[in-house]
Amino acid sequence: MIDHLTGYRLLDQCGQSAIEPPAGFVKLLSTLWCEDERALAAMGQIRLDLRTDAAWVSPMRAARQTAERLSLDGKEDPELRELNYGNWTGRTIAEIDQEQPERLARWISDPDFDDHGGESVAGLLKRAGAWIEKRTSARGRIVAVTHTTVIKATIVHVLRAPPDALWRIDIAPLTFTDVRHDGRRWAIRSCGSPLPIAVS
């Protein structure tokens, strides 16, 4: 469904010198479809091979469930919420394309489009960009459990890419994207990587 794909892992902030230890980092992790209860149950409890000093999580169900399975005790942050799809919530792209092809085309081509009663892509990009910029001076290891669209919007912001780049980025469920800061600017370290699972 359009609004249920969640994701995790966010940013990594490093010192200005390659010799200096990392000042901090954030990881964005991606999650399962919210309604995929069988996959979630089969996933069981997973222990990440990842030291975490602070964690945030979207308040939406899929993100909270994924954080729980990953044993992450994250603080809910509404800025990490999924894109609001308005009247299209719970519908597939194919259904919308069949019934409202012109409006769907406008939504994809016009970042300010919000005639579906939800959030515009421009609004999402602004929100995701503001969230990561607030972590510029963060210290320690930060993990954020959020949605794939929020992760893609963060990537667009970091790369200073045009809004339509959002549609050219794919993030798989249960992967992480690593974004780092060197004291001057953000940079993508890795994107859509497998979760670092601890081996007992």
pLDDT tens digits for range 54-85: 899 999 988 998 888 888 889 999 999 999 99
Q: Tokens standing for 9?
A: 């892992």
Identify whether 200 is part of a domain: no
Identify whether 134 is part of a domain: yes
Cβ 32 vs Cβ 181: under 8 Å = no
**103-113 pLDDT, tens per residue?**
999 999 999 99
For residue 70, give its domain range. Answer: 5-194
Question: Domain count of the chain?
Answer: 1
Cα dihedral 66, 10, 195, 140 sign: negative
Place of tokens 């798989």: 172
Identify whether 115 is part of a domain: yes
Identify whether 71 is part of a domain: yes
Identify whether 94 is part of a domain: yes
Question: How close are the terminal C-alpha atoms of the chain, in Å?
Answer: 35
Q: Tokens standing for 123?
A: 């609004």
Say what the pLDDT of residue 34 is.
46
High-pLDDT (> 90) share of the chain, %: 44
Say what the pLDDT of residue 21 is.
31
**143-170 pLDDT, tens per residue?**
899 999 999 999 999 999 999 999 999 9
The Cα–Cα gap between 144 and 13 comes to 14
Identify whether 26 is part of a domain: yes
Report the CATH number at residue 174. Answer: 3.40.50.1240
The Cα–Cα gap between 25 and 54 comes to 10
Residue 192 — pLDDT band, cuts 50, 70, 90?
confident
Identify whether 199 is part of a domain: no
Query: Phi and psi (nearest 5°) for 114?
Result: -145, 25
What are the angstrom distances between the C-alpha of 27 and each of 42, 71, 103, 104, 140?
A: 24, 15, 34, 32, 11
